[in-house]
Chains A and B, each alone.
Chain A
């Protein structure tokens, strides 16, 4: 089945550690996105990528890093510089990049808790 796969679904980390969240899509979409959701809030954009080897910062990129070496994959690293990393992270993709993206599709999310 086509879709977006995120892993792990749940992750615990100690303060000061980096952690990488995986996102893979087999929809043949050009654009991929990472969003962060805090309790009772909407989604905020961390990074997006319109094409391989290119990515752009969103509204809350500080403390995060990404790479896009393959069309199918867009991993997110939450670094120790991120001051409040405990959140729900959602990966998404669309057939094209902004502004004419078409429909946005989401993975199931990764819940990160920093102890």
Chain B
């Protein structure tokens, strides 16, 4: 299967700071999503971004498929941004999404 590595594994920020989360993957993909897992465990869709750049409010994401990585930017972080951020990819011939082990973000007031 496709190997997915996320960095950093843990991140602690002061409220208002900016951050960049990275997702590297080992093979070509035709699906890539970023999720936020809230404290209750639910996975919230942030971006469906197999290539290119998207923005949604304070969050934006960029995927460079040819170089096999994606970045999630969080600007002006808020305490509600705390949680675990997962990257998931799907390959051109595979039968599933592969998940990274996540970046655990804590935003302190």
Q: CA separation between A45 and B96, bound complex, in Å?
A: 8
Which residues of A have CB within 8 Å of B40? 108
Q: CA separation between A45 and B95, bound complex, in Å?
A: 10
Q: Mark B73-103, 1 if CB is under 8 A from A, else 0.
A: 0000000000000101011111111011110
Which residues of B have CB within 8 Å of A88? 41
Q: Mark B2-30, 1 if CB is under 8 A from A, else 0.
A: 00100000000000000000000000001
Query: Which of A90, A101, A107 interacts with B31 by CB under 8 Å?
Result: A101
Query: Which of B41, B42, B43, B93 interacts with A99 by CB under 8 Å?
Result: B93
Q: CA separation between A109 and B39, bound complex, in Å?
A: 12
Count residues on chain B whose CB falls below 8 Å from chain A CBs: 26
* B86, chain A: closest CB distance, angstroms: 7
List 10 A-B residue pairs with CB atoms under 8 Å apart, sorted by A's residue number.
Answer: A37-B41, A43-B99, A56-B95, A59-B1, A59-B96, A98-B96, A104-B97, A106-B43, A109-B41, A109-B42
Interface of A with B (CB < 8 Å)? 33, 37, 40-45, 48, 56, 58-59, 88, 90, 98-109, 111
Interface of B with A (CB < 8 Å)? 1, 4, 30-31, 33, 35, 40-43, 45, 48, 86, 88, 90-97, 99-102
* New A-B pairs, 16, CB < 8 Å, besides A90-B41, A104-B45: A37-B41, A42-B86, A42-B102, A45-B97, A48-B95, A88-B41, A98-B90, A99-B91, A99-B94, A100-B30, A100-B31, A103-B33, A104-B31, A104-B33, A104-B88, A106-B35
